[in-house]
Chains A and B, each alone.
Chain A
Amino acid sequence: EVQLVESGGGLVKPGGSLRVSCVGSGFTFSSYTMNWVRQAPGKGLEWVSSISSSSEFRYYGDSVKGRFTTSRDNAKKSLYLQMNSLKVEDTAVYYCVRDGNSGYGANWFDPWGQGILVTVSS
C-alpha cells in the first residue's frame, strides 16, 4: 500500500521557523516528483512546492517563494519542507503529496498524506 506520513508540525511564533517531514512507503520514492499542498482552516487547497525525483528542479508558489525550501533524501524515502519567516497566514494543514505518474512533467496528485497542522501565532 502506498503511504505518506507527515510529522513535525506544531505551534510557532510569527517570524519563526519550522521543518515538516514526510516519509513515503509502498512505492519507489526516488522515481517520483513530490509536492507539498496546504489548506488553511476552513479554506481551499493551495499548491506550495514541488521537487523532482533527483532534486534537480524545485518550484514554489508565489506566497512562499524565498521563505520555504523543499528538499528530499531518497535513501531515507523522505521529503522535507523548511519554513522560515513564518507568517500568521501560513497557518494550515500541510499535505505531502506524490505525483500521480513517475517521471517529469506536470501531473495530478495521488496519493496524499494525512496532513500535519502548522499554527503560526503569537
Chain B
Amino acid sequence: EIVMTQSPATLSVSPGERATLSCRASQSVSSDLAWYQQKPGRAPRLLIYGASARATGIPARFRGSGSGTEFTLSISSLQSEDFAVYYCQQYHKWPPRYTFGQGTKLEIK
C-alpha cells in the first residue's frame, strides 16, 4: 500500500497570506496526485489533479506542484472561504489501491 503523509496536521495562517501544504508518498506516484478541500459537514471537492492541473472553477490562487514522492499545494492570498481541511490522494496503481493523506487543517490565525 502507498502511504500518503501530509504535513503539518494544522496550519494557522492569516487572511491575505500564503499557505503551503505538503504531501509525501511512500513510493513514487509519478504525477498521479489529487488535492481535495473539505469544509465542515460538506463533501470533499476536487481542487487539483495530475499534481498541478486545476479542476473546473478552481481559482488561480490554488497551485499544485511536485512529482514522484513530494507534492505541494500552495494557496496565495488566503480568503475566508479557504479555511478548511485539505486532503491529498494518490491514484497511481491499477487495479486501484487508492489512498489518502490524513489531512491538513488550515485555520485562521
Contacts and interface: CB of A to CB of B under 8 A. Distances in A.
Nearest to B56: A110
Interface string B67-92: 00000000000000000000101011
Interface of B: 32, 34, 36, 42-46, 49-50, 55, 87, 89, 91-103
Nearest to B99: A47
Interface stretch (A13-21, A74-82, A84-92, A111-119): A111-119
User: Contact size class for A?
Assistant: 20 to 34
Given A44-B87, A44-B100, A100-B49, A105 B94 contact: yes
Interface in A47-87: 47, 50, 57, 59
Given A110-B46, A113-B43, 13 more contacts: A44-B100, A44-B102, A45-B100, A50-B98, A57-B95, A59-B95, A100-B46, A106-B91, A107-B91, A108-B91, A111-B45, A112-B45, A115-B43
A32 interface: no
Interface of B is mostly: loop
Nearest to A99: B91
5 contacts: A45-B44, A45-B100, A106-B93, A109-B89, A112-B44
Nearest to B50: A108
Contact of B98 (A44, A47, A105, A113): A47
A29 interface: no
A59 B95 CA distance: 7
10 A-B pairs with the lowest CB-CB distances in the bound complex, closest first? A108-B34, A47-B98, A110-B46, A112-B43, A108-B49, A106-B91, A45-B100, A106-B94, A44-B102, A50-B96
